[in-house]
Amino acid sequence: MSRTAEQTRTRRPVPPASGGRGRTTAVTVVVVALVVAHVVAVRETEFSLAALFEGREGMARFLSEAFPPDLSWSETVRPALEATGITLWIGLLGTTFSIPTSALLAVWGSRTTAPNAVVYQVSRAIMSFFRAVPDIVFALIFVTAVGLGPFAGVLALICHNTGVMGKLWSESIEEIDPGPSEALRTAGGSRAQIVANATFPQVSASLLGLLLYRFDVNVRSSLVLGLVGAGGIGLLINQSIKSFQFDAMLTQIIVVLVLVIVVDLFSAAVRRRLAL
């Protein structure tokens, strides 16, 4: 008998790995937890397809009153276009005016560029606060401060977008190559010089792409802010619903749809150019 055959006969069977059994148990626990969570959520939210089916007559009546849309120029279309322009400007200013604060918090809230641990933790806490408070809550606060109108919507978007965009930018900064920064630091460059000449040049395309993404989101958010008195097309839609002018509401929704498509196409075109 050969030596290889003897080794084969005397080799002990390898016991099954315990890691596989533990992984299966963990997956089972997660699946059971998700099922239980969905059962509780369905009960607590009173989710019912039967109720939706029973309300089909009301939905049909609503749609019959909305069609055809009201296309009268002076009473519906022109005010809708003007209000949509305000919605666009709210989203634009809410995005661009938050750039300085977002950039500052991103630099201070990144491990690679923060001056010290205290500044890092404080910056992360500020960004977390601005992200945690919804923009519509900020809008309600600023409406009580500056009154009804688009200015409250701009302030609300600046606050919320500062937290979101600062967080996204800080994560991009943390992924940069530390080599150029170390070279500048060794050469005696100040922290501001390192950030301006080594950090931002590496992430400029990524930061601009994220900025365009947030502009897209903020335009949509400014529509919702109008529902609480922050101006724009959302305010007109809310007024049309309250006055049961569903045909005018449908026209306003169509105008909003066109605006969203145009903004999407613009953002996608710019991002493609950045990727070239």
Q: What is the CATH number of the domain that holds 163?
A: 1.10.3720.10
59 domain-assigned:
no
d(CA 95, CA 102): 10
Among 269, 134, 158, 144, which residue's Cα sits nearest to residue 214?
158
195 domain-assigned:
yes
42 domain-assigned:
no
5 domain-assigned:
no
Asked if 261 contacts 270 with a C-beta cutoff of 8 angstroms, the reply is no
Instruction: Give per-residue pLDDT as tens, 123-157.
Output: 999 999 999 999 899 999 998 888 888 899 999 99
Burial class from Cβ neighbours inside 10 Å (0-12, 13-18, 19+) for residue 139 reads buried
Q: How confident is the model at residue 275 (pLDDT cuts 50, 70, 90)?
A: low
* Helix boundaries (H) for the chain: 3-10, 18-44, 49-54, 56-66, 78-96, 99-108, 117-132, 135-146, 150-174, 178-186, 191-194, 200-225, 233-242, 246-275
Burial class from Cβ neighbours inside 10 Å (0-12, 13-18, 19+) for residue 86 reads buried
Averaged pLDDT for residues 182-196: 73
pLDDT of residue 21: 74
Residue that is written with structure tokens 């609480």 in the block: 228
Q: What are phi and psi of 48, to 5 degrees?
A: -155, 115
d(CA 142, CA 99): 20
Burial class from Cβ neighbours inside 10 Å (0-12, 13-18, 19+) for residue 215 reads buried
What residue type is assigned to position 29 of the chain? Answer: V
27 domain-assigned:
no
What residue type is assigned to position 196 of the chain? Answer: A
191-196: long-range contacts at Cβ-Cβ below 8 A with a sequence spacing of 24 or more? 191/113, 191/115, 194/113, 195/107, 195/113
Mean pLDDT computed over every residue of the chain: 83
Asked if 96 contacts 102 with a C-beta cutoff of 8 angstroms, the reply is no
Instruction: Give the contacts of 188 (CB within 8 A, at least 6 positions apart).
Output: none
163 domain-assigned:
yes
* % of residues, the chain, pLDDT over 70: 91
Q: What are phi and psi of 68, to 5 degrees?
A: -75, 155
Among 18, 22, 20, which residue's Cα sits nearest to residue 30?
22
17 or 59: which leads in pLDDT: 59
Say if residue 225's pLDDT is above 90.
Answer: no
Tally the domains of the chain.
1
158 domain-assigned:
yes
Say if residue 13's pLDDT is above 60.
Answer: no
Q: How confident is the model at residue 75 (pLDDT cuts 50, 70, 90)?
A: confident
89 domain-assigned:
yes
Range of the domain at 172: 69-275
